[in-house]
């Protein structure tokens, strides 16, 4: 039935959204009419149908083989919603439409304004969720391929945490692959110490690539690399030291990027962390009969699962080595048994769907109860609609990409607002540039491949970060202009997100732009929990875009500081709340706002 009444989303605070209030009233009316709960109560699909609608009568009519409009009338007769909306009307084939009273909106807006959480309730049943995202590889620079995982994973983590879940952000770094044989061989034979001093990671990448080329054409080199890997895995001192240094250099590069992106991890348990646990995993699976020996390797078959029947999974190679799958199984075990995770979310690209199906299926057979989710996403494409690469056909380093974003943002700032101070320009360029890159990812459904375009993501028009940031800047500008006079009593104990306190105890909404804006502001609390429904940050992004749009319309139509009371105070309050919702909403997406731009 209605999402707003499902166990996961019942508000635990006193404050409730219009949606949940109306859902309850509908539920009461249905009970009153001797009918079971049915259908859903949702925001209206079109303004012509009012603000909320329900299809309860349609669903019930089908179940009971009755006339939907008659049923709708029956339900409407028992609906007691006079405090919230105009009399509900039956429309179309049997929808019931609700139009909020302006007074109710004004009251609700004040409630939201008073609430530190902007009306967003914490989930009733919270869980410990390990979120696996980012996962760069050591000895390779982070590139565009990592950005979606990092940005989407971080946003989901922020949102889940805000909703009250206990979130563990885990960076599953690729620090133990077979590539290390080549890295170590290269380190020993090809390393240029001076180059290493200048740019460590670049030098490591260089020797890795060169070794790779040699290994491809020379079997002796390939064998030498394999030997280095064997030594490393056996704990050889020299190779372990080299490995440690490579990891440290790589981490420096990651940290630089994470600082720019404002991404933080609670845990960075890379693949090497699980190394010692791998034999145990294989033993356990063999013992339980889930795995078996086949052609010298240890393999899990899924014979009773039609989808996986012809897709076995190797967990120990014929040569005795372990692989990616073994590590992932050890990781599940650690997260469930040691970290006590109720859920694990893997924010990993779509190509690995099969792999995670296999892993999850094995976890299920082993009896792990945790809720395992593979949150997939599509690729970032270049203007040619092919996987985004540099001109020479290589992956685009993330550092370079982010630097260019800031550079381009800076250029626009120079054009639009040259009188800003140098410090401001640097700060704003970073917020706009990074924000634009992140928002481009988050504003789109994660499964769609999308075309990367500087021009589009940095545009001030349309669904972009700068457009949203500009709405916030306009709010701030009003308050800068207003100065202290706008900051009056009573104080509402609101956490300082914008630095300004509201100035009215009640709102008078007259202009349609004011009403629209207030309505949007009340919807924030209805939108945020929906994101986790199907892991879609773009739902929040789209909402914020519409909010910014409503605010810009309001801004054009309704002078704030120049208007007379009570409109002035009301409008100031709308501005405060818009600023706070934008700030908080963008923060949940991991995007910062500048004060000026």
Residue 53 makes contact with RNA by CB under 7 A: yes
Which CB atom, from 196 or from 396, has the smaller least distance to RNA?
A: 396
Residue burial 307-318, b: 16+ Cβ < 10 Å; e: rest:
ebeeebbbbbee
Which CB atom, from 66 or from 192, has the smaller least distance to RNA?
A: 66
Binder of RNA out of 477, 497, 511, 587 (CB under 7 A): 477
Residues 517 and 578 sit within 8 Å (Cβ to Cβ):
yes
Site string for RNA, 440-469 (x = CB under 7 A): ---xxx-xxxxx-x--x--xxxxx--xx--
Contacts of 534 (CB under 8 A, 6+ apart): none
> Rounded to 5 degrees, what are φ and ψ at 505?
-95, -20
Interface of this chain with RNA, residues 186 to 245, rule: CB under 7 A:
none
Residue 101 makes contact with RNA by CB under 7 A: no
Which CB atom, from 335 or from 571, has the smaller least distance to RNA?
A: 571
Residue 488 makes contact with RNA by CB under 7 A: no
Quickly count: other Cβ atoms within 10 Å of residue 213's Cβ. Answer: 12
Number of residues engaging RNA in binding (CB under 7 A): 103
Residue 55 makes contact with RNA by CB under 7 A: yes
Interface of this chain with RNA, residues 115 to 174, rule: CB under 7 A:
137, 174
Residues 575 and 478 sit within 8 Å (Cβ to Cβ):
yes
Interface of this chain with RNA, residues 262 to 301, rule: CB under 7 A:
271, 294-297, 299
Residue 45 makes contact with RNA by CB under 7 A: yes
Residue 40 makes contact with RNA by CB under 7 A: yes
Which CB atom, from 14 or from 419, has the smaller least distance to RNA?
A: 419
Q: Which residue from 172, 170, 174 is spatially nearest to 138, judged by alpha carbons? A: 174
Shortest CB 299 distance to RNA, Å: 5
Interface of this chain with RNA, residues 347 to 366, rule: CB under 7 A:
350-355
Binder of RNA out of 64, 198, 317, 411 (CB under 7 A): 317
Q: How many whole angstroms separate alpha carbon 334 and alpha carbon 198?
A: 38
Which CB atom, from 397 or from 529, has the smaller least distance to RNA?
A: 529
Q: How many whole angstroms separate alpha carbon 249 and alpha carbon 142?
A: 13
Binder of RNA out of 33, 78, 86, 92 (CB under 7 A): 92
Binder of RNA out of 161, 290, 381, 487 (CB under 7 A): 381
Long-range pairs, 17-21, Cβ under 8 A, ≥24: 17/119, 17/522, 17/523, 17/525, 17/526, 18/51, 18/52, 18/84, 18/100, 18/104, 18/108, 18/522, 18/526, 19/43, 19/52, 19/526, 21/84
Shortest CB 592 distance to RNA, Å: 15
Which residue has tokens 């599953």? 172
Which CB atom, from 137 or from 196, has the smaller least distance to RNA?
A: 137
Residue 437 makes contact with RNA by CB under 7 A: no
Site string for RNA, 551-570 (x = CB under 7 A): -xx-xxxxxxxx--------
Q: Which residue from 41, 23, 16, 25 is spatially nearest to 108, judged by alpha carbons? A: 16
Residue burial 323-338, b: 16+ Cβ < 10 Å; e: rest:
bbbbbbbbbbbbbbee
DSSP 95-121: EEEE-B-HHHHHHHHHHHHH-TTTTPP
Residue burial 439-455, b: 16+ Cβ < 10 Å; e: rest:
bbbbbbebeeebebebe
Binder of RNA out of 473, 515, 528, 582 (CB under 7 A): 473
Helix ranges (DSSP H) in 342-390:
353-366
- Using the contact rule CB under 7 A, the part of the chain among 232-240, 245-253, 258-266, 532-540 near RNA is 532-540
Sheet containing 313-316, strands listed edge to edge, beginning at the edge strand earlier in sequence: 291-294, 297-300, 313-316
Residue burial 402-432, b: 16+ Cβ < 10 Å; e: rest:
beebbebbbebbeeeeeebeeebbebbbbbb
User: Beta partners for 387?
Assistant: 381
Shortest CB 548 distance to RNA, Å: 7
Binder of RNA out of 189, 199, 510, 533 (CB under 7 A): 533
Q: How many whole angstroms separate alpha carbon 427 and alpha carbon 275?
A: 42
Shortest CB 486 distance to RNA, Å: 10
Binder of RNA out of 13, 62, 252, 506 (CB under 7 A): 62
User: Beta partners for 85?
Assistant: 100
Binder of RNA out of 126, 227, 379, 508 (CB under 7 A): 379
Which CB atom, from 223 or from 307, has the smaller least distance to RNA?
A: 307
**Bridging pattern class, strands 128-132 and 313-316:** unpaired
Q: How many whole angstroms separate alpha carbon 372 and alpha carbon 356?
A: 9
- Using the contact rule CB under 7 A, the part of the chain among 192-200, 230-238, 321-329, 503-511 near RNA is 321-329
**Bridging pattern class, strands 343-347 and 371-375:** parallel
Residue 3 makes contact with RNA by CB under 7 A: yes
- Using the contact rule CB under 7 A, the part of the chain among 85-93, 103-111, 157-165, 216-224 near RNA is 85-93
Which CB atom, from 49 or from 265, has the smaller least distance to RNA?
A: 49
- Using the contact rule CB under 7 A, the part of the chain among 146-154, 251-259, 261-269, 473-481 near RNA is 473-481
Binder of RNA out of 331, 470, 570, 578 (CB under 7 A): 470
Which CB atom, from 196 or from 302, has the smaller least distance to RNA?
A: 302
């Amino acid at each position: 039935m209605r999402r707003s009444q499902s166990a996961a989303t019942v508000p635990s605070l006193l404050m409730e959204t219009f949606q949940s209030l109306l859902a309850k009233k509908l539920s009461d009316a249905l009970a009153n009419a001797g009918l079971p709960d049915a259908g859903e109560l949702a925001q209206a699909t079109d303004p012509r149908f009012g603000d909320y609608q329900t299809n309860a009568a349609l669903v019930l009519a089908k179940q009971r083989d009755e006339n939907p409009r008659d049923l709708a009338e029956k339900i409407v007769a028992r609906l007691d919603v006079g405090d919230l909306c105009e009399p509900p009307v039956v429309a179309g084939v049997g929808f019931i439409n609700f139009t909020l009273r302006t007074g109710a909106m004004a009251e609700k807006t004040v409630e939201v304004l008073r609430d530190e959480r902007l009306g967003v309730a914490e989930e009733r049943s919270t869980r410990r969720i390990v979120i696996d995202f980012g996962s760069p590889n050591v000895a390779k620079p982070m590139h565009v391929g990592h950005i979606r995982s990092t940005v989407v994973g971080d946003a989901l983590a922020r949102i889940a945490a805000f909703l009250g879940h206990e979130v563990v952000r885990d960076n599953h770094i690729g620090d133990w692959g077979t590539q290390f044989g080549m890295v170590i061989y290269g380190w020993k034979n090809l390393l240029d110490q001076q180059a290493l001093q200048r740019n460590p990671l670049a030098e490591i990448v260089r020797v890795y690539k060169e070794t790779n080329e040699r290994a491809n054409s020379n079997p002796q080199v390939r064998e030498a690399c394999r030997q280095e890997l064997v030594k490393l895995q056996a704990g050889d001192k020299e190779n372990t030291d080299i490995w440690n240094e490579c990891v440290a250099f790589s981490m420096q590069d990651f940290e630089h990027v994470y600082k720019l992106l404002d991404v933080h991890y609670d845990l960075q348990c890379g693949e090497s962390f699980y190394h010692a646990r791998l034999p145990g995993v294989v033993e356990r699976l063999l013992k339980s009969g889930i795995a078996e020996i086949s052609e010298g390797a240890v393999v899990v078959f899924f014979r009773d699962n039609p989808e996986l029947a012809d897709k076995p999974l190797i967990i120990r190679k014929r040569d005795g080595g372990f692989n990616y799958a073994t590590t992932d199984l050890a990781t599940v075990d650690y997260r469930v048994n040691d970290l006590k995770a109720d859920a694990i979310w893997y924010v990993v690209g779509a190509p690995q769907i099969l792999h995670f199906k296999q892993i999850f299926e094995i976890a299920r057979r082993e009896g792990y109860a945790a809720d395992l989710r593979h949150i997939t996403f599509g690729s970032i494409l270049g203007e040619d609609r092919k996987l985004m690469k540099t001109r020479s056909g290589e992956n685009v380093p993330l550092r370079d990409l982010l630097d260019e974003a800031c550079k381009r943002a800076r250029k626009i700032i120079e054009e639009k607002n040259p009188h800003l101070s140098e410090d401001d320009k640097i700060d704003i360029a970073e917020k706009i540039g990074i924000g634009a890159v992140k928002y481009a990812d988050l504003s789109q459904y994660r499964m769609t491949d999308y075309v990367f375009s500087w021009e589009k993501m940095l545009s001030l028009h349309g669904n972009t970060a700068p457009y949203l940031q500009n709405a916030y800047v306009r709010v701030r500008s009003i308050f800068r202009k207003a100065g202290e006079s706008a900051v009056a009593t009573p104080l509402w104990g609101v956490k300082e997100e914008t630095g300004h306190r509201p100035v009215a105890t009640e709102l008078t909404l007259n202009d349609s732009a004011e009403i629209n804006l207030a309505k949007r502001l009340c919807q924030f609390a209805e939108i945020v929990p929906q994101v986790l429904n199907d892991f879609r940050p773009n739902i929040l992004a789209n909402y914020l875009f519409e909010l910014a749009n409503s605010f810009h319309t309001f801004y054009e139509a309704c002078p704030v500081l120049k208007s007379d009371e009570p409109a002035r105070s009301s409008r100031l309050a709308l501005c405060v709340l818009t600023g706070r919702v934008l700030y908080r909403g963008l923060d949940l997406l991991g995007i910062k706002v500048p004060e000026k731009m």
